[in-house]
Each structure stands twice: as structure tokens, then as C-alpha cells.
A and B are shown apart, each in its own frame.
Chain A
Amino acid sequence: MDTPLQTSAVQKNTVRRAFSDRTIANLFLLPTVLLLIAMNVFPLFWSLYLSFCKFTDTSGKPAEWVANANYLRILNDPEIWKTFITTAQFTALSVGAQLFIGFGMAVLLNRTFRAKGIITTLILLPMMLSPVVVGKFWNFLLDSNWGLVNWLLQAVFHVQDPINPVNWLSDPQNAMWSLVIVDTWMWSPFVMLISLAGLNAVPPHLYEAAEVDRASTWFKFRNITLPMVSPLVMIALLFRTMDCFKIFDIVYVLTGGGPGDATKTVSYSLYKEAFDQHNTGFACALAYIILLIIIGLANLYIKYLAKVRGEEIPDATTLLGELADKTQKVPVLGWLLEAPLRLALIPIVILLARSAPSIAGYLAGHIGLAIGLAVAIVFLWLAHKLPQKLRTGMAYIAIAIATVVYLLPIYWILVTSLKPATQIFSYPPKFFPTHMAKPGEEPSKDTTFGLTMQNYDGLIYHRKGNRPTAEIEGYSEFPKQLGNSLFIGGLSTLLAVALGTMAAYAFARFRIKGKGDLLFFILSTRMMPAIVVVVPIYLMYRSLGLLNSQLGLIILYTVVNLSFSTYLLKGFFDDIPHEYDDAALLDGYSRFQAFRKISLPQALTGIAATAVFCFIAAWNEFAFAQILSGVPPLTAPPSIIGHTGAGGTDWGQIAAGAVVFLIPAAVFTFIMRKHLLRGVTFGALKR
């Protein structure tokens, strides 16, 4: 070969090489980044602008610039302050209860016994089911007259006066506790799952060494278990704090912020301002304040994740630090930008300071509660002194009780869905179906009942006069909505996983400039509360004609799941040694072929697990579906909770809808039980 030819070949190759790797990285990342910018960054900037405006979305008038008037109003409005205090109260109580119960359950379950796997998965069920659908049903469980909870307290435990039943939802103080109870029931399994992982990860030889050193049980727990598990529990704590702070679904279905505004949390009041009062500009300002607090918490969370994972910290401070350099002429701005934490800490500190007295006052006002806590602690302290066998026996009893507590509400949904309308409110409640009900059958006197499918029938057909045996007048909306849920959930999952796989591969395999910042950005979009971006997205969809459309929800759910799937899948790709790809490259394959023939087949399990998580998230989603679809709603969750008949709420119908709706999530939970931990922690923790 002569020299000129050779050089030209080399030049060509240089171009080709530079083309291939960087182009693939860009091609793989671009769709994800663009979608996130279009659906997260752009709406946020829009709502930032609106937050400085007087704007009503229904008036048709253009937004009018009012500078910081909205923010001033928020800071000076005692009602808004009250919603912050209510939120803080709820968060403190709920997270506290979840940590205590979840960690306790983890300690109980951290032993080998038969059916451990199944029992653990059963207890985890509440967390995987749709919060609104199950939350709605809690209304029925907590009903003061015929609710299961009051019946148990009166007839079984005799701790309540039947003449004067507890008004769980209509008494201001109890309404808060009801929220805490439901949220704790749903999410203490989450804390349990993470704590269990922590307890599992403590190397047994440490306990053996302590045993040799004649350490007591308490000493081992205090000096080995706690320090080793606490980083993980911290993650659970931060995660739950963030979720509790933005709580919306459960408030919406359980109390509607009431009675009065006793349980009106910030997210709920934001929803009211935006979509009831149509104070759009004001709502945007409120959203920004919530966002700042969430960013602060998310930042803490991400740092902790990185620490537990022992990885480089995907931190935005470098990015913001650069910004700060450029804004040095405005020192205050630079100082604030330098550490986003600083920014968010201010409102958190103010909030805590303002709400602490009321929480303390609350505890003081409920001496019973304080005494109960003290007794529980003393009991736990005493328990560790008991002989090993007795303790194990007690643990099994506690596990059995816990399993019943976690499953009872779900069981109650199931049996209610099978009851004839006349026996749904029976007192004492009917627990056990014994036979198929015959038409015109008298209700039994005991706790058995004859089961019927009429509630399920009602999900599909409209019958004349709403009588179960009458002729069919037409079809109900529900089957179509369920189909919509399936279609929207399925397609958005497919998109989110496909795009996420590409982005994750790029992150896992290529050296990308500003990788940490990009990952932080992607993860932070996931932490963002739906209620914060929903206002600009609503406006955006309205002007694009995407309201109440399948396409609109598909795009939205794709974006919501995209950051999650990218992050989770990156973990799965990181698990596959990059040498496999390297070997394929050396064996004569191109980068794309290496991705398709080597990495992809090996990541299939991970991709399937990610898809299931994305699907469950889209399937269960409520806030966007409720706000962005019309009447009747597009998907199943807003439809199920809206079943009200002539005689008030039709619980049989709701239960039937709930059962049909919950089955896929429950089945997937069992299939995915090995990946649950990884899924709920964004892939940070593996087993």
C-alpha cells in the first residue's frame, strides 16, 4: 500500500470512530433528555413565570405581572401557614410511626422460619397497591357506625363505648390520626423492606465475635445492629419524609382536607387553589415553595444513596457552583446557588420551628398516647431479657398478628365485593362467604353470608332501575376505563423502558461529560411531586388539546417513569461487567452490536423487573389522571373512587372495582418479590 492511500484510510477511520461511540452515546441519551426538558423543565419555567403573575386559567385574560405579590401573600397568609403546619404534623407523626413499626417488623422477620418469603411479600402488598383505591376503601373501614375498625374496638376489644363511637373522619383531631393510620398501614412495609435489607447485610461474624466477647443482646443490638442498619433506615426516613410532605392522594380520598381544614395539607391546598379557586398564579408560587423543600430533601436523599452505594456523589453543586461563579456580581445569589441545600433548609427550619410546639402540645394533650409509647418501650426493653425460646415464640405471635393487620383491609375489600347490597352494612359484620346466595335469601344471623357476583355485574352493565336482576339497559364506563388503564399503562411502560434502556446503557458504558450532573437532574425530576408540575402541564395540555386524551397520559406517564427506569436500569447494566462489551468489540462487533447481542440479553431480567415497576406506577397513578381527564374519567383509579349511587357511596361497587383493579398489581408484586427492594430504592439497594 502506498503512503497517501494509507493516510486517507486512517483519516476516514478517525472520522468513523469518533462518529460511532459519541454518536451512540448521544443518540441513546437525547430522547430521554429532550423529553424530560419538554415535560419537566419547560413547565417549571412556565410556572415560575406564572408564579409572579396574577393569572386565572378560566378567565381567558393574559397573565398580569405582579412581581412577588403571590409570594408575599403566601408568607403572610395564616391559612397557608396552617396547611404547612398540618403537613409537618402529619409528616412527623406518620414517619415516626412508620419508622418504629417498620423497623420493629424487620427485627421480627429477621429470622428463618417456614413461609418467611410468602409472609414478607404479603405484608408488602399494601405498598404496591393503588393508594387512592385502597385509601378510598379505608373510608368504609373507618366509618363510625358500620366500619370494621369501630366494630373491632367495640365488640372484640371492648375499648370503645358503642353508644359513643369514635368519629374517625368527622372529628378534626381524629381525622389527622386516620390519615396517619392509613399512611402507616400502607408505608411501614416500605421501611420494613429496607430495614430488613440492612439487618440481612450485617455480617454474622460480627455477632459471633461479640458473642465471644460476652456481649449482651442489647449491647449487640446497640453497638452492632443499629450502627450498621442506620444508614439504610436513614434512606427510608428521607424517602418517607419526602413522600409524606407531598401527600395528596390519601387526603383527597379520605378526608378531602376536612373536617373544616383540619387535614388540609399543602399539596391539597395547592390543588384546591389551582383547580377549585383557579388562582393559577398563586398556586404556581405555592408549588415553587413546595418544590424548594422537596429539592432540599431530595438532595439529602441522593447524597445518602451515593454514600450507601459507595459511589461518586451525583451532586449538582458543581454545576450550581459554576453558575455561582458566573453570578459573583450578585453575592447573595451566588451564595444561595452554591448549595441548594442551604436554600431549602431555610423553609424547613422555619416550618419545624413553627410546628414543633403544636406537635409537642398534641402529644401532651394525648396522655394516653404518650403512656402507650412509654409502655411499648418498656415492654421491648423487658422482652430482650426473656429466654431465647420465649422470645422466639413471642416473635411468631407478633408476626401472625401483623400479617392479619396488614391483610385484613385487603380481605375486607374482597369480601365486601362479594356481598349482596343488603349485607354490606350488616352489624356485626359478615366475614365468611359459605355459599352462593339465592335470590330473595334471608341474611344469616352469624358472621357468614351467601356470596353474589352482582357487584361485578354492576361494573359492566347498567340495569333498569339499578336492580341486579333487571334487564340490561347499557354498558358501564368501567370496562372501557380499565382497558384505557391497561393501554396507557402498557404503552407508556414500553416507551419508558425502551428509552430508559438506551439512556441507562449510555450512562453505564460511556464516559460522558457532566455525567453526575445529568444523573442528578434525571433523578431529581422523579422526586418532584406531581402536584407541583401539574398546573403548567394542565395549561400546556389545554393549549395542545391533549386534555382527556390517551396520548396525553401516555406521554406524561412515559416521562414520569423515564427517570426511574433510567436510574434502575443503569444499576442493572452496571452489574454486567463492561468486559463483556469490550470482548465483543475486540471480537469484531460494532458498539451497537455489542449492546444488542451482549448487554441486552444479559439485562433482560432487569429490564423485565423495571417494566413491571413502571407499569404498576402508571397503572396506580391518580393525581394526573384525575386532573387531566374529564367526566367520566379516562382511567380506572379516578373512576373507582367516584362510584356514588342514589343512596350514598356504593361500597359494593367500589370494592368490586378495587378487586379487579388491584389484582394485576398484587400478582406482579408476587412475581417481582426478589426485585422489590431494588425497585423501591431506585436500584440503590440490592439483595
Chain B
Amino acid sequence: MATVQVKNLIKKFDQNIAINNTSLDIEDGMFMVFLGPSGCGKTTTLRCIAGLELPDSGQILIDGEDVTNLPPSARDIAMVFQQYAIYPHMTVGENLAFPLKAVRTPKEVIVQRVNEAAKKLHIEKLLGRKPGKLSGGEMQRVAIGRAIVRRPKVFLMDEPLSNLDAKLRTEMRAEIKRLQKDLNVTTIYVTHDQLEAMSMADRIAIMYGGSLQQNGTPSDVYDRPANLFVAGFIGSPAMNFIPCRISDDRTTLVFSESSRMTIQPAAKTRFANVPTGRDLILGVRPEDISLRKDHQAEYEESEVYVVEPLGAENIVDLRYVGSALKVRTLPTFSANIGEILYMRIDQSRSHLFDSESTLALTG
């Protein structure tokens, strides 16, 4: 129903820069997730879009209209807060009706819309109750309900699931995603949980230190991380990093004087544009390492540090050329502490980063 554009947004609190020149385009009907650790500026960006903060410079456009200086009430947006912000002195029904009353909606329409929203969220029975008696999940539904009765141009959600327990969170994740697709409302969702981001988003904007790091689809940010931060932030267990260089003849990865690894033929083109003679970091996802008990070509010797059985998979911790490597294996793969295993890094799926600029050098 609406597009949102953020142009060169800058926001300072006293002397601290919360958002440093961020630009973003969010398409109509898109589920956009702002992802990053706490203090990265994601919530501040959201609050600027909401109009709860005035940016120091830059523009915010909703449907092409400049709303940078409009009060929140004039932007036709709805927001779900982390603490839900259900007004404690009103019943659930009154809470749902509150945004409609603000714009003097006729009574019949209010009743109809409230019932509609309540039905959609399965909270019809709660309408007469005060929020104090509700469970976390119910509060969450009411908060979402209050946002959808409005039929706003844009939904904003600020870590709406972080106060729920793990099981409920997984449930609500699916429900919010489905709701968004049904209503087809442009949605901006802030979270620090990469699992939430990956599972719900159409696009993810990863932020760190007030700057946008990468803006892409979930598979983009997973398979083609733009820099070390994104590479390390997305994925669990995190991507393994090994400091290295590329030999001048581009045949080997040099970890140290004594240990090096031949570049696999499949990776030759992938590493072709990487400059030699610079400090690099090799990034490998845990699923891109394969293990064997016996030696074979391209397999390197390494020692098992610890094994973490997780049921659906086992995580094997290795020590290799001074770096710790986590390897995802089948649950049937067993290994013992101190055992020597042979591992092969799939270089065609690996990444090389410039150690200084942290930018990805492989496409």
C-alpha cells in the first residue's frame, strides 16, 4: 500500500551519532527487517520513520511524500512496541478502538473493525478484560490488533517478540509473517535476533554502529555477506574466520610460514580478483567443511577440541593452524576429544575479506 524511503538520515543524541547517513528504499508490501546488535541505530531509524524522533538531517518519504517533519499522527502508520504499550487503564476492546477514536471513526465501523481484528488474532474473548490480567502472548496479540484495526500505510514493529518465551516466539513468528502477507501492508520490523530476521524478512537491512552494513534478501546476506560484520553476525554457529594471505602465484592460501592450503581448482576464479600480499581473512560457514576419519587428497589434519551434540546435528570444534573451527556434521558422526580428524574446506563457497577494510573481496 505504500513505499518508504529513507534518504541520508543522520541522528545525533548530544554528541553520539546514532544514525550515520543511512539511505534505504522499502518497496510496497515488503516485509523489511532491521537487524543488528543493540545500539546499532535500528530502533532509532524506526522511531524516525514513526516520527517519534526528529532526524538532524535527511529525509523520510512515505509514498513519495516528504513526512520528515510531520507529527506521528499525520503519517498514517501503526507501531507495535517491545513493551506492547497496551494502555493499562483501558480494556482490550477500548485499546483496540483507541486509534480509531482518534480519527473520529463512526461507532459501527469501530465495532466492526475491532471485532474483525479480534477474530483474526483469536482474542475475541479478551475484549472486555483489562490488560493487567493478560499473558505475554495475549498482550502481544492485542498490540498487533491495535495496529491492524487502523489499516495503516505502514506497520512498524519494534522487537515485538523479545518478551515472549522461546516456544511462543516461534509460533508468533509464523503468525505475524502470514498476517503481513494476508494484509499486504508494508512492514518494518526491528530485531536483534537473526533467526527472526532470516525466517520472516523479504529483505534484511543489517546495521552496526549507526551505519547500514548490507541491505538484501535473506539468502543475499547469508550467501554473499558484504563485510566481516555481516558474515559474523548472520548464521549460527557463526562463520569461521582464519587469518591468511594469498601466495604471489595464486596457488595457495598461506596461514603461516609452516602451514598453507592449496587453492582448489573450483575456487580459482572466485579468488581471481583478490589482491596478493595483503592481510586477508578466510570465512567459512560450519556446513562448508567436511570431515573424514582417514586421510585423503585436499583434506588437512586437525584435532578435535570438543563435540556438541544438538540432536538434529553435531557441532565439532576443531583446532586448525591456531584457529578454532566449528563444523556442522550429521548427528551420526561421532568423534572424541583429542582425536585427529581430516577436514576439507569447500573453497568455492568460502569468502575472503580484506583484514583492514573488512570488506568482502569475493562476490
Q: Which residues of A contact B (CB under 8 A)?
A: 6, 10, 13-14, 16-18, 20, 577, 579-580, 582-591, 593, 598, 601-602
B73 touches A587 (CB 8 A): yes
CB pair B85 A10 closer than 8 Å = no
A587 touches B69 (CB 8 A): no
| Contact pick for B69, options A10, A585, A593, CB 8 Å | A10
Question: Which residues on B sit within 8 Å (CB–CB) of A593?
Answer: 102
Chain B: residues with Cβ within 8 Å of the partner, total of 32
Q: Are B146 and A587 in contact (CB under 8 A)?
A: yes
Which of A13, A580, A586, A588 counts the most chain B CB atoms within 10 A?
A586
In the docked arrangement, what's the CA distance between A579 and B143, Å? 12
Q: A598-B87, A602-B89 are in contact. Are A586 and B79 (CB under 8 A)?
A: yes
**In-complex Cβ contact of B71 among A10, A20, A583 (8 A):** A20
Residues of A within 8 A of B244 (CB): none
CA distance A598 to B102 in the complex (A): 13
Residues of B within 8 A of A14 (CB): 69
Bound complex: CA A83 to CA B234 (Å): 72
**Residues in B neighbouring A13, C-beta threshold 8 A:** 69-71, 74
Note all chain A residues with C-beta closer than 8 A to B99. 586-588
Selected contact of A587 from candidates B47, B65, B98, B156, CB within 8 Å: B98
Chain B residue numbers with a CB within 8 Å of A6 are 65-66
Q: Which residues of A contact B89 (CB under 8 A)?
A: 601-602
Q: Are A585 and B71 in contact (CB under 8 A)?
A: yes
Known contacts A586-B79, A586-B99; 18 additional CB pairs below 8 A are A10-B66, A13-B69, A20-B71, A577-B83, A579-B84, A582-B85, A583-B85, A584-B98, A586-B50, A586-B72, A586-B73, A586-B75, A588-B102, A589-B73, A590-B73, A591-B71, A593-B102, A598-B87
Query: How far does the alpha carbon of A160 sit from the alpha carbon of B266 in the complex, in Å?
Result: 106
In the complex, what residue of chain A is closest to B66 when comparing beta carbons?
A10
Q: How far is the CA of A394 from the CA of B81 in the complex (A)?
A: 53
B166 within 8 A of A: no
Contact yes or no, A579 B81, CB < 8 A: yes
Query: Chain A: which residue is nearest B149 at the CB level?
Result: A587
- Residue among A18, A584, A586 making CB contact with B77, cutoff 8 Å: A586
Q: How far is the CA of A13 from the CA of B54 in the complex (A)?
A: 13
In the complex, which residues of chain B have a beta carbon less than 8 angstroms from the beta carbon of A589?
A: 73, 102
Tell me which of A13, A582, A588, A590 has the highest count of chain B C-beta atoms within 10 A of its own C-beta.
A588
Complex Cα distance, B156 from A579, in Å, reads 13
On whether the beta carbons of A585 and B51 are closer than 8 Å, the reply is: yes
B277 within 8 A of A: no
CB atoms of B102 and A587 under 8 A apart: yes
Give 17 CB contacts A-B under 8 Å. A6-B65, A13-B70, A14-B69, A17-B70, A17-B71, A18-B69, A577-B83, A579-B85, A582-B47, A583-B87, A586-B52, A586-B79, A587-B73, A590-B73, A591-B71, A593-B102, A602-B89
**Which chain A residues border B150 with CB–CB below 8 Å?**
587
Is B18 in the interface zone, CB < 8 Å from A? Answer: no
* Interface presence of B103 (CB below 8 A): yes
**B83 CB → nearest A CB, Å:** 5
In the complex, residue of chain B having the shortest beta-carbon distance to the beta carbon of A10: B66
CB neighbours (8 Å) of B79 from chain A are 582-583, 586
Per the bound structure, the CA–CA distance linking A585 and B79 in Å amounts to 10
B118 within 8 A of A: no
Name which residue of chain B comes closest to A9, CB basis: B65
CB-defined contacts of B82 to chain A, threshold 8 Å: 579
Nearest CB in chain A to that of B102: its residue: A588
Shortest Cβ distance from B143 into A: residue: A583
CB-based contact B73/A583 at 8 Å? no
Is there contact, CB below 8 Å, between B83 and A579?
yes
How close is B248's CB to chain A, nearest CB, in angstroms? 56
Q: In the bound complex, do residue B85 and residue A580 qualify as a contact, i.e. CB atoms below 8 Å apart?
A: yes
* Complex A-B, nearest 8 residue pairs according to Cβ-Cβ distance, in ascending order: A588-B102, A587-B99, A579-B85, A14-B69, A583-B85, A585-B72, A588-B73, A579-B81
> Would you call B88 an interface residue if the criterion is a C-beta within 8 Å of the partner chain's C-beta atoms?
yes
Q: Which residues of B contact A582 (CB under 8 A)?
A: 47, 50, 52, 72, 79, 81, 85
The docked-state distance in angstroms from the alpha carbon of A602 to that of B88 is 8
Q: How far, in whole Å, are A598 and B85 apart by their CA atoms in the complex?
A: 11
Nearest to A11 among chain B residues (CB) is B69
B343 at the interface (CB under 8 A from A): no
Identify the closest chain B residue to A16 (Cβ): B71
* B149 → chain A closest CB, angstroms: 10
Q: Whole-angstrom distance between the alpha carbons of A587 and B102 in the complex?
A: 7
Q: How far is the CA of A590 from the CA of B102 in the complex (A)?
A: 9
Nearest B-chain residue to A511, judged by Cβ: B13
Measured CA separation A587–B147 after assembly (Å): 8
Q: What's the least CB distance linking A468 to chain B, in Å?
A: 54
Closest to A15 in B: B69
User: Counting CB contacts under 8 A, is B352 at the interface?
Assistant: no
Most buried by A among B50, B66, B71, B87: B71
A174-B103 Cα distance, complex, nearest whole Å: 73
CA of A582 to CA of B51 in the docked complex: distance in angstroms?
9
Cβ-closest chain A residue relative to B79: A586
Chain A contacts for B65, CB-based, 8 A: 6
Nearest CB in chain B: distance from A268 CB, A:
47
From A590, which residue of chain B is reached at the shortest CB distance? B73
Verify A585–B74 contact, CB threshold 8 A. no
Q: Mark B43-76, 1 if CB is under 8 A from A, else 0.
A: 0000100111010000000000110011111110
Chain B residue numbers with a CB within 8 Å of A587 are 73, 78, 98-99, 102, 146, 150
List the B side residues contacting A584 at CB < 8 Å. 87, 98, 102
Identify the closest chain A residue to B54 (Cβ).
A17
Chain B residues near A583: list those with CB within 8 A. Answer: 79, 81, 85, 87, 146
* Min CB–CB distance B4 → chain A (angstroms): 15
B83 touches A585 (CB 8 A): no
Min Cβ gap A590→B in Å is 7
For the complex formed, measure the closest distance between the CB of B62 and the CB atoms of chain A, giving whole angstroms: 12
Smallest beta-carbon distance B162→chain A, Å: 13
Q: Please, which residues of chain A bring their CB within 8 A of the CB of B85?
A: 577, 579-580, 582-583
Across the interface, name the chain B residue whose C-beta is closest to A18: B69
- Docked pose: A591 CA to B322 CA in angstroms: 59
The interface residues of chain A lying within 8 Å CB-to-CB of B103 are 588
Shortest B290–chain A CB gap in Å is: 48
B40 to chain A, nearest CB (A): 20
Task: Using CB atoms, name the residue of chain B closest to A601.
Answer: B89
**Which residues of A are found within 8 Å of B84, using beta-carbon distances?**
579
Q: CB-CB < 8 A to B146: which residues of A?
A: 583, 587
Docked Cα-Cα span, A18 to B88, in Å, equals: 30
A633 to chain B, nearest CB (A): 44
- Minimal beta-carbon separation of B322 from chain A (angstroms): 40
Kindly state the separation between the CA atoms of A524 and B52 in the bound complex, as whole angstroms. 32
Neighbouring B residues of A602 by C-beta, 8 Å: 87-89
- State how many angstroms separate the Cβ of B105 from the closest Cβ of chain A: 10
Give B46 Cβ to nearest chain A Cβ, in Å: 11
Residues of A within 8 A of B51 (CB): 585-586
Chain A residues contacting B71 (CB-CB under 8 Å) are 13, 16-17, 20, 585, 590-591
User: A580 contacts which chain B residues (CB < 8 A)?
Assistant: 85, 87
| Bound CA–CA A584/B99 (angstroms) | 7
Please, how many angstroms separate the alpha-carbon atoms of A593 and B85 in the complex? 16
The complex places the Cα of A584 from the Cα of B73 at a distance, in Å, of 8
CB distance from B186 to the nearest CB of A (A): 15
List A contacts of B98 (CB < 8 A): 584, 587
- Which of A14, A580, A591 counts the most B-chain CB atoms under 10 A from its CB? A580
Whole-angstrom CA separation of A585 from B73 in the bound complex:
6
Kindly state the separation between the CA atoms of A579 and B73 in the bound complex, as whole angstroms.
Answer: 14
Closest approach, in angstroms, between the C-beta of B94 and any C-beta of chain A? 11
> A579 CB to closest chain B CB, in angstroms?
4
Q: B77-113, CB under 8 A of A: which get 1 and which 0?
A: 1110111110111000000001100110000000000
